[in-house]
Amino acid sequence: MRLLPRLFLSHALVVVLTVLALLVLAELLAPTFIQHHVDQMVNLIGPAGRSLRGDLSRGMRNTFTGALLLSAAFALVVAFITAFLASQRLVRTIRQLSAGSQAIAAGEYQKRLPDHGTDELAELARNFNRMAEVLAQVEASRVALITNVAHELRTPLTALQGYAEALNDGVMPANHAATSILRETRAMERLTSDLSLVSRVEAGRIELHLQDLDVSTVLTAAEERFQPLAERRDITLKIERPSTKTLVHADQERTAQVLANLVSNALNYSPAGSTVMLSALPEGGEVAILVRDQGPGLDEEQRERIFERFYRVDASRSRLGGGTGVGLTIARGLARAMGGDVQVTSEPNTGSVFRFSLPIPERSRTSLRRTSSA
Ligand code: ADP
């Protein structure tokens, strides 16, 4: 049976049973009340009233039963109409939900349901609309990802095709062509491994080995790794270690990876003769590692967008530096997976500060709470 008749019948059954109970109860109780009333009237009338006792009782009972049946019939009609309207409203929302989910299943992610009201049905409709919105975003991001990947792969592939043709035509020495082909295939390899990491980070499928790390050791490792690049770029790499032993609770390899993305960006986008500074400071329940540069800086829109996949302020410059355009997406995703974050403060022409925060170990947090409450 369809939902509307089922709901209506269940409402109707409740109404009929209630009215029946009311009728039975009224018919059971009425004689006692009527009798009592008639006795009072007979006493008021006096001896002449005694002969009227039977007529009075019958008359009152008939009037009472007639009025009761008429009211019950009216109440039944009103209750049936209300039950029908209430069932119809419920069924209408369910039908809308069903049509909406069918539309979404068919790929119409713009479908929305009317969600006025404060009851559970309106809440259901609002949740449905929110789900449709998220699905629309996921779909848009999927399409954008495919477009971007195709675009990113086209650049090295076109270059590879050019080198192969030049080799074929004998216009390029073989060793020269081999070096160029190797460079392009390495770029493709880097892109595919970055993409695989991005998808794992976004799906929350990153295995983390969280442990207590000394921030000074983390900074020293980054300094050793990037000093040669800084020298090649004629940039001063300065490290400011915390004055006391400062610990974070994080994955060593992933922390180094986030920091590497931030430091290599700072070195890649800053001019020769400038300084890149690495420092760390405890702030409440976390430690902020700051990567400060004197590069071109970023305006408001760029600050928002640099964490998007494949967004580049200057595509040609970024590609020359070997960037795949997903370094900051990975950095922020990894930092968040470890309970931290990556944020940027920057203005055009004044350099940038990337703030990589990580949680401090639980023990230190407890003792910090104790110190602050003391
Ligand atoms: P890429 O591989 O292109 O470096 P990222 O995701 O690491 O990709 O960075 C995205 C973009 O953000 C870069 O292309 C660059 O335009 C901008 N950017 C990143 N770091 C800096 C920085 N320190 N100074 C200025 N611009 C930066």
Distance CA 264, CA 222 (A): 10
Whether 116 is covered by a domain: the verdict is no
The pTM (predicted TM-score) of the whole model is 0.69
Distance CA 339, CA 337 (A): 6
pLDDT in tens, 153-181: 888 899 999 999 999 999 989 999 999 99
Q: Which pair of tokens denotes residue 338?
A: 């470890």
Whether 46 is covered by a domain: the verdict is yes
Whether 114 is covered by a domain: the verdict is no
Question: Taken in order 138, 140, 145, 150, is the CA torsion positive or negative?
Answer: positive
Query: Are residue 274 and residue 351 in the same domain, yes or no?
Result: yes
Whether 118 is covered by a domain: the verdict is no
Q: What was the pLDDT predicted at 374?
A: 55
The closest residue, in CA terms, to atom 4 on ligand 1 is 323
pLDDT in tens, 284-334: 889 999 999 999 999 999 999 999 988 888 766 555 556 778 999 999 999
> Where does a domain end: 149, 174, 202?
202
Q: What angle do CA 124, 129, 135 make, to 5 degrees?
A: 125
Q: 373: pLDDT confidence band, cut at 50, 70 and 90? A: low
| Cα 336 to middle of ligand 1, angstroms | 19
Query: Are residue 218 and residue 361 in the same domain, yes or no?
Result: yes
Query: Are residue 223 and residue 324 in the same domain, yes or no?
Result: yes
Residues with Cβ within 6 A of ligand 1? 261, 265-266, 269, 293, 295-296, 298, 306, 311-314, 318, 323-329, 352
Q: 224: pLDDT confidence band, cut at 50, 70 and 90? A: very high
User: Is the pLDDT assigned to residue 365 strictly greater than 70?
Assistant: no
Residue 287 bridge partners (DSSP): 282, 358
Whether 77 is covered by a domain: the verdict is yes
Distance CA 236, CA 338 (A): 30
Q: What was the pLDDT predicted at 107?
A: 85
The closest residue, in CA terms, to atom 19 on ligand 1 is 265
Query: Are residue 273 and residue 250 in the same domain, yes or no?
Result: yes
Q: What angle do CA 190, 195, 201 make, to 5 degrees?
A: 125
Q: What was the pLDDT predicted at 317?
A: 59
Q: Which of 2-16, 54-68, 232-246 tops mean pLDDT?
A: 232-246
Query: Are residue 218 and residue 155 in the same domain, yes or no?
Result: no
Q: Which pair of tokens denotes residue 316?
A: 């040609």
Distance CA 282, CA 248 (A): 9
Total domains, the chain:
3
Whether 323 is covered by a domain: the verdict is yes
| Cα 354 to middle of ligand 1, angstroms | 11
Query: Are residue 265 and residue 176 in the same domain, yes or no?
Result: no
What average pLDDT does this structure show over 344-367?
A: 90
The closest residue, in CA terms, to atom 16 on ligand 1 is 313
Classify each residue of 273-303 as buried b or exposed e, where b means 16 or more C-beta atoms within 10 Å of its C-beta. Answer: ebebbbbbebeeebbbbbbbbbbbbbeeebb
Whether 82 is covered by a domain: the verdict is yes
The closest residue, in CA terms, to atom 20 on ligand 1 is 265
pLDDT in tens, 86-142: 999 889 888 888 898 899 888 888 888 888 888 888 898 899 899 999 999 888 888
3-class secondary structure per residue, 195-249: HHHHHHHHCCCCCCCEEEEEHHHHHHHHHHHHHHHHHHCCCEEEEECCCCCCEEE
> Where does a domain end: 58, 73, 108?
108
Query: Are residue 183 and residue 274 in the same domain, yes or no?
Result: no
The closest residue, in CA terms, to atom 14 on ligand 1 is 312
Whether 117 is covered by a domain: the verdict is no
Query: Are residue 219 and residue 337 in the same domain, yes or no?
Result: yes
For residues 262 and 331, is the Cβ–Cβ distance under 8 A? yes
Q: Please name which of 64, 82, 62, 68 lies closest in space to residue 12, comparing C-alpha atoms.
A: 82
β-bridge pairing 341-346 and 286-292: unpaired
Residue 164 is part of which domain span? 123-202
Query: Are residue 219 and residue 185 in the same domain, yes or no?
Result: no
Instruction: State which ligand 1 atom lies nearest to the alpha carbon of 266.
Output: 23
Query: Are residue 66 and residue 138 in the same domain, yes or no?
Result: no
Q: What was the pLDDT predicted at 352?
A: 97
The closest residue, in CA terms, to atom 12 on ligand 1 is 306
The enclosing domain of 284 has a CATH number of 3.30.565.10
3-class secondary structure per residue, 35-103: HHHHHHHHHHHCHHHHHHHHHHHHHHHHHHHHHHHHHHHHHHHHHHHHHHHHHHHHHHHHHHHHHHHHH
Distance CA 168, CA 155 (A): 20
For residues 200 and 206, is the Cβ–Cβ distance under 8 A? yes
Least confident stretch, 39-48, 217-226, 264-273, 276-285: 39-48
| Cα 24 to middle of ligand 1, angstroms | 83
Query: Are residue 214 and residue 311 in the same domain, yes or no?
Result: yes
Query: Are residue 317 and residue 225 in the same domain, yes or no?
Result: yes
Distance CA 186, CA 193 (A): 11
> Where does a domain end: 151, 174, 202?
202
For residues 293 and 269, is the Cβ–Cβ distance under 8 A? yes
The enclosing domain of 144 has a CATH number of 1.10.287.130
| Cα 323 to middle of ligand 1, angstroms | 8
Q: What was the pLDDT predicted at 166?
A: 92
Q: Among 155, 261, 265, 316, name the best residue to mutate to test ligand 1's pocket (greatest count of ligand atoms within 8 A of Cβ).
A: 265
